[in-house]
Amino acid sequence: MKNSIAERIADFLKNHPPFCSLSLVDLIAISKESQVLHLEKKEVLFNINDQPHSFFYIVKDGAVALSVIYDTEKVLIDECDEGDIVGLRPFFAKDAYLMTAEASEESLLYAIPIAVFKPYIFENSEVSSFLLESFASNTRNPYDKENKGKLISESVSYNEREDTIQYFKPISYSANPITANKMDSVKSIAETMTRRKIGSVIIQENQLPIGIITDKDLRSKIATGLFTIESSAEQIMSVPVVTVKANGSVAETQLMMLQHNIGHLCVTSDGSSESEIIGIISEHDVVVAQANNPGVLVKQTKRAEGAHELKVVRENLTKLIKNALDENIPIAHLCQIVGEINKAITSRAIELSIMKMGEEPPVPFAWLNIGSQGRKEQLLLTDQDNALVFEDVVEERYDAIKKYFLQLANNVTNILNVVGYEFCPADMMASNPLWCKSLKEWNAQYDTWIHSPGEKGVLMCSIFFDYDFVYGKKELVEAITSAIFKNVSNNQIFFAYLGSDALKSPPPLGFFRQFLVERDGEHKDTFDVKSRGLMPLIDAARLLSLNQEITGVNNTLVRFKELAVLEPQNTAIYEACSEAFSVLLKFRTQEGFANDSGGRYLDLNKLTKLDKVKLKNAFHPISDVQEILRTRFQLTYFT
């Protein structure tokens, strides 16, 4: 009896790549194992962080929207329609989906089992090439010249301008691998593997690979008694050796390992077994290649059992940032990723500290990152700034409860210091009794800063008005926010003080458009990109956001984005400010990595002519936004 459903599926698949590369017989075989899936409008196929399905999907009718969460907002990345593939992540990674797939209209999908389709990838070079080209060109269909889309978008890390294909990056390999001769004893090879702490030895003849012995061979052939420990390598080695070129990608490596069901690949000069051995790639190398994937870092953070494990995560995060800068990933996206991972590290540090305390917190509390951490702009490993708020309690319990939270905060800041976030020189940390307060005390503190600003109050506002909830009871932070906006509403004196402070750093160019550099001291003749470039924009964005009562947004780039929407007459200026901030923050971050510093001071002599032009162009919006401040807050007599 004919299977009419399978025939209909096959008839559809044959018109779309990569299925069009398969025979009708193969398509029928695949279609018999496939399922028809109906989705109502807004019905979710899979969510971010869901574990990969055993199926991937091709859209028959309708459309499926792919989205990510960007700064708490759902952002549409791509929309897959007829013939487009969704959910191929299981082919290339075993971790969770990085995007949400949701039907944007009533849709019909064909669900194709991964296990059924996988053999065709390895048996059909055109199918394999399609998948690899898709990842290489970042398209869901590299053969569609008019509408390539953003292939398999859930398999990549999203950013605003271009997706990064995590799995198409070149993979590193171990050079100068340990080799042995075919007549060497298994015993001597096992001893070498133990001594060198390696999982494989390549068997060579005239520097050409003829076989490989791995831990698996020792377990399956020696430990089971099939061969004795005195056997020769030739008797138990696995043959042939699977060889690859040195410039293979993570995706290609994974495909090869899947295809041959092996955990090691031999790297040779030309990729064949007829050329000299130059290296080896193991499954561990594949894991390491993916170690700076944001999703992997968050997983590692949640599983960390101590400060040193968290330090490894932060070191991998630094690698991620460096790679992202090299690939011109937009700073806005990078800030968001780094900010979230920094929060995850801090959250885990708090959890570990609570466990160390041996007792649960006596009352609800909330931990806040403040300053650059609160704005999610800490791309370099600078010092930590944080605060703690706990629920109001009766006077008799206050001292004991504050003592608990100070000890907790001390544990947390010590862990963060080991991770690499140095102690704040000004002691702006939750372990300081000044910044570990009850809700009532915090509201009184903010009230004082707002109604009696003064010079010190303005300084505190520039730090403590940029806070981000990290851990605990969010309602406590929301209560502080509510009180702040109630106090600043129509508070002209407060805005005048903050505005005056925001104008202290004019655009950093003198006559003839020359850079204003440091005149003396340790950093003489360098340019202070933080105080002269970044801070005027940070201060302006904060002040204008407070004035517009924009809540829940602390990042400077996002603040300007919100302001551009609320004030159409100033959209061009705010967008220019956002772009300028991105440029300046990138300069600072690159300087920091290049000189293992805070990146604050730029040696202008080391900049190219083009870099100097970029810097100067980034200063124009400072003049424009400061003029808005002068006009709006009537600052003529304050500046």
Q: Which residue has the higher pLDDT, 82 or 347?
A: 347
Give 588's contacts (C-beta < 8 A, 6+ positions apart).
Answer: 380, 529, 530, 534, 599, 600, 602
Which of 485, 504, 632, 629 is CA-nearest to residue 546? 485
Look over the chain and give the mean of its residue pLDDT values, rounded to a whole number: 85
What angle (nearest 5°) sits at the alpha carbon of residue 5, between those of residues 3 and 6?
65
Cβ proximity of 382 and 321 under 8 Å: no
What are the pLDDT digits (tens) for 49-93? 888 899 999 999 888 888 876 555 566 667 788 888 888 766 666
**CA–CA dist 272, 110 (Å, integer):** 39
> Can you give 350-412 as a three-state secondary structure string?
HHHHHHHHCCCCCCCEEEEEEHHHHCCCCCCCCCCCEEEEECCCCHHHHHHHHHHHHHHHHHH
What are the pLDDT digits (tens) for 207-262? 999 999 998 899 889 988 999 999 999 999 999 899 988 877 776 777 678 667 78
Mean pLDDT over residues 135-161, rounded?
Answer: 39
What are the pLDDT digits (tens) for 622-632? 999 999 999 99
Q: Alpha carbon of 614 to those of 321, 330, 458: distances in Å?
A: 21, 16, 31
pLDDT at 373 over 80: yes
Q: In what order do the strands lie in the sheet with 44-46?
A: 44-46, 100-103, 64-70, 73-80
What are the pLDDT digits (tens) for 274-306? 999 999 998 877 766 665 667 678 778 888 899
**What was the pLDDT predicted at 498?**
87
Mean pLDDT over residues 372-385, rounded?
Answer: 90
**What was the pLDDT predicted at 534?**
93
Mean pLDDT over residues 480-492, rounded?
Answer: 90
**CA–CA dist 276, 196 (Å, integer):** 22
Q: How many angstroms separate the first and last alpha carbons of the chain? A: 88
pTM: 0.61
What angle (nearest 5°) sits at the alpha carbon of residue 557, between those of residues 556 and 558?
95
